[in-house]
């Protein structure tokens, strides 16, 4: 993504569609000129003022709007920023956007370009930018809290604390290397440096162990409903989602492909997946559905393995990475048949049609999900985990080598560890991350 820092960018910063108010945001060196041209004057900094917006060429009245100006460097992007709070009709928004596009040096912003300028101008570090993106995308309360912590600098502060400790350790090593013959250089510098490395390594190890929890809060858990045809999978999906998502039929093999539903489970994001019935079939479409069902099960966090009350089918077993909850279904049809007589001790019994047992299943899922995310730490992305792991590897190498490690190699390991940590906040080696990150942002953010 080629970016000209000399352009003034603009975009709709509020949601698209009909609304009472829409916010058009600008950032760049021409903000003052744009306000003088379209609003007649530049409002006092950080104060909303009622202005008449006019087209920059025709001078037609476009709208009466509240206008705000945020001078550099005290703005979101670190540049001059302006906001036009116009009426939210599509015609008004279109006319204002079109008018801005007529001004030389102004252009429509790309995805995430406002946030990218904030990063480049030092207003936010990369981890805070990621937290902002997560906050925009947050669907559950737990995701919102996690994103707020990261946006406000919890991850950045930890990384900077570790970097400061490693800088201190590096200073001890460098002093030993460069001034070993000086009489005023104290003994034991290497040991002091080693103690600092051990303390940072211990914290990194702890955070890496908690990484799965943090990543799961952000991306959510995947719960796959699996089992033979007519085991009640689609009925259970509808019962959990509390709406008719999947077609329910007595005809075996109705579900041919996976159906996904996003579910807020006590603040934890969950993707519920209904899958094709597992059985042998000569129908190529159903065969593909069964293959996809097994693939989804192998990559699930939790599998609800269903079998009907009168079925002797074995529960799914070939999903070593998932927690399997065995469930016996359709118990409302089993009156007088001795339901549970051959059920395994941990097999839940329910009727998705009547709701019996569904509440107990939800409670079990809630407990399981809370256990998974209970120890959510600083890591929210694989990128963070990989950077922490790289830093830990280099520190462990220096620590395991002990006092006999050559000073130059010892110092280099510390520098490498700091470089890995710098990738988290955007100090080094992040250009390959930026385009992917900001491509997922909203236009106008």
d(CA 411, CA 206) in angstroms, rounded, equals 24
> What residues form the annotated binding site?
25, 83, 123, 230-235, 249-255, 274-277, 445
Same domain, yes or no: 113 and 163: no
CA dihedral angle for residue 412, residue 415, residue 419, residue 422, rounded to 10 degrees: 170
- Sheet strands (E) in 147-242: 221-226
Looking at the structure, do residues 360 and 237 belong to the same domain, yes or no?
A: yes
Residue 98 placed within a domain: yes
Same domain as 363, residue 391: no
Q: Is 288 helix (H, G, I), strand (E, B) or coil?
A: helix
Both 390 and 416 in one domain: the answer is: yes
- The residue to which tokens 């820092």 are assigned: 5
Question: Which of 219, 4, 9 has its CA nearest to residue 111?
Answer: 9
Sign of the C-alpha dihedral computed for residues 193, 196, 201 and 202 taken in this order: positive
**298 and 319 co-located in one domain:** yes
Could you give the CA distance from residue 352 to residue 359 in angstroms, rounded to a whole number? 10
* Contact in structure between 233 and 226 (CB atoms under 8 Å): yes
317 assigned to some structural domain = yes
Q: Are residues 118 and 168 in the same domain?
A: no
Q: What global pTM score does this model have? A: 0.75
Cβ neighbours of residue 400 under 8 Å, at least 6 residues apart? none
C-alpha dihedral sign at 419, 425, 427, 432: positive
Domain membership of residue 196 (yes or no) is yes
Known binding-site residue numbers for (6S)-5-formyl-5,6,7,8-tetrahydrofolate: 25, 83, 123, 445
CA atoms within 13 A on the CB side of 83: 21
Binding site members for Mg(2+) = 234, 255
Residue list, annotated binding site for K(+): 230, 249, 251, 254
On whether both 234 and 317 belong to a single domain, the answer is yes
pLDDT of residue 221: 87
- Provide the 8-state DSSP code for 333: G
Closest CA to 300 of 278, 270, 322, 273: 322
Closest CA to 413 of 52, 169, 115: 169
Give the bridge partners for 265, in sequence order.
268
Same domain, 397 and 298: no
Residue 180 corresponds to which tokens in the numbers above? 């070993």
Q: How far is CA 53 from the centre of its chain?
A: 38
Residues 251 and 305 in one domain: yes
Domain range for residue 314? 220-373
Give pLDDT tens digits along the chain (445 positions).
445 568 999 999 998 778 899 999 999 999 999 999 999 999 999 999 999 999 999 999 999 999 999 999 999 999 999 999 999 999 999 999 999 999 999 999 998 899 999 999 999 999 999 999 999 888 888 889 999 999 999 999 999 999 999 998 888 887 766 555 554 545 567 788 889 999 999 999 999 988 888 888 888 888 888 888 878 888 888 888 887 775 555 555 555 567 888 888 888 888 888 887 666 666 676 666 666 777 777 778 888 888 888 776 666 666 667 788 888 888 888 765 444 444 455 788 888 888 889 999 999 998 888 877 776 788 999 999 999 999 999 999 999 887 666 778 888 999 999 999 999 998 765 565 566 566 666 666 6
Q: How many domains does the chain have?
A: 3
Does residue 132 sit within a domain?
no
Numbered residues of the known binding site for GTP: 230-235, 249-255, 274-277
Q: Cα–Cα distance between 149 and 372 in angstroms, integer?
A: 19
DSSP code per residue over 373-385: HTT--S--SHHHH
Burial class (CB in 10 A: 0-12, 13-18, 19+), 309: buried
């Amino acid at each position: 993504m080629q970016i000209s820092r000399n352009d003034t960018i603009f975009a709709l910063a509020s949601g698209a569609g009909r609304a009472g108010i829409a916010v058009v945001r600008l950032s760049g060196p021409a903000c003052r000129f744009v306000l003088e041209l379209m609003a007649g004057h530049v409002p006092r900094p950080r104060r909303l003022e009622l202005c008449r917006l006019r087209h920059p060429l025709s001078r037609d009245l476009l709208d009466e709007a509240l206008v705000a100006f945020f001078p550099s460097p005290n703005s979101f992007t670190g540049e001059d920023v302006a906001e036009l709070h116009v009426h939210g009709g599509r015609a008004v928004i279109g006319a204002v956007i079109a008018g801005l596009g007529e001004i030389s040096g102004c252009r429509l912003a790309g995805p995430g370009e406002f946030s990218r300028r904030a990063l480049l101008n030092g207003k936010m570090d990369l981890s805070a930018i990621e937290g902002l993106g997560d906050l925009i995308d947050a669907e559950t309360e737990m995701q919102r809290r996690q994103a707020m912590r990261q946006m406000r600098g919890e991850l950045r502060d930890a990384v900077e604390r570790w970097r400061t400790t490693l800088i201190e350790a590096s200073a001890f090593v460098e002093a030993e290397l460069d001034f070993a013959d000086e009489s005023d250089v104290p003994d034991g510098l290497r040991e002091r440096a080693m103690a600092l490395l051990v303390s940072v390594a211990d914290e990194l190890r702890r955070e890496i162990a908690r990484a799965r929890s943090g990543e799961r809060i952000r991306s959510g858990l995947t719960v796959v409903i699996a089992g033979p045809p007519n085991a009640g999978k689609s009925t259970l999906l509808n019962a959990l989602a509390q709406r008719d998502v999947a077609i329910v039929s007595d005809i075996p093999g109705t579900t041919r492909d996976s159906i996904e539903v996003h579910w807020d489970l006590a603040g934890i994001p969950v993707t519920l997946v209904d899958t094709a019935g597992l059985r042998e079939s000569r129908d190529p479409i159903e065969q593909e559905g069964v293959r996809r069902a097994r693939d989804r099960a192998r990559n699930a966090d939790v599998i609800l393995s269903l079998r009907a009350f009168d079925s002797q089918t074995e529960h799914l077993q070939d999903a070593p990475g998932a927690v399997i909850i065995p469930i016996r279904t359709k118990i409302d049809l089993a009156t007088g048949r001795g339901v549970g007589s051959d059920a395994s001790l941990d097999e839940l019994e329910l009727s998705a049609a009547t709701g019996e047992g569904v509440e107990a299943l939800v409670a079990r899922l809630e407990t399981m999900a809370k256990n998974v995310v209970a120890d959510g730490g600083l890591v929210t992305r694989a990128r963070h985990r990989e950077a922490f792991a790289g830093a830990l590897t280099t520190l462990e190498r220096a620590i395991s080598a002990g006092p006999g490690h050559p000073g130059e190699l010892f110092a280099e390991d510390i520098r490498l560890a700091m470089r890995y940590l710098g990738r988290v906040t955007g100090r080094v080696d992040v250009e390959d991350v930026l385009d992917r990150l900001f491509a997922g942002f909203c236009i106008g953010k």
